Amino acid sequence: MPVNIYYMEHPPPDSIQDFIKVFLLSKKLEVIKFGEAMSLFQQEMQSEVMDWMATGKISKINEGNKAEFSRSLDPVCNVLGITIFNDTTTKNYFNIDSIHWFLRSLPPKDTNKINRRFIPDTGDKTNPYPILKIFLDKVIASNLLK
């Protein structure tokens, strides 16, 4: 399933965003933009409405079965939410202090969103790319991508 990357709070510099996208592509993951994710979601909703019309359920949509309709939608993509916290004690580099992230499907199939935290080992924080590689490897290894 494709991945939409959502930068929460403050988006990182373009070079960081490009690295994340290229890294995921190198791992054979399809990365899509928000508009593409919404288009896939809309197509899934239209398909499900057509199925409900064919079975006669569409005439019975009310508050009680809106949840049933939502549950009947198949996920169309993963959403990887990322907030990168920059260590602002130094001004010369983009030093990654920590990364908060979550991974959900669109539409979400579970109601509990688990926020996760990645704190890089102390060491050379002046180069963010090795840190991002370790972070992304952990995201992939989490088996949360569907």
Query: pLDDT digit string (tens) for 48-80?
Result: 888 877 877 666 666 667 777 777 888 899 999
- The per-residue pLDDT for 51 is 85
**Residue 116 in 3-state DSSP?**
strand
Residues 56, 58, 63, 69, CA torsion sign: positive
- The per-residue pLDDT for 58 is 66
- Quickly count helices (H) and strands (E) in the chain: 4, 5
Residue 42 pLDDT > 90: yes
How many CA within 13 A on the CB side of residue 136?
Answer: 20
Strands 116-118 and 77-86, by their bridges, are unpaired
Residue 28 confidence class, pLDDT cut points 50, 70, 90: very high
- Which residues are registered as beta bridge partners of 32? 4
Calculate what percentage of the chain has a pLDDT beyond 90. 52
Q: What is the pTM of this model?
A: 0.84
Residue 126 pLDDT > 90: no
Domain positions in the chain are 3-31+75-141
Higher pLDDT, 145 or 92: 145
Q: What is the mean pLDDT of the chain?
A: 87
- The per-residue pLDDT for 133 is 96
Q: Which of 70, 95, 80 is nearest to 12 (CA)?
A: 95
Residue 109 pLDDT > 90: no
List Cβ neighbours of 128 (8 Å cut-off, separation of 6 or more).
16, 93, 94, 95, 96
Q: Which CATH architecture has domain 3-31+75-141?
A: 2-Layer Sandwich (3.30)
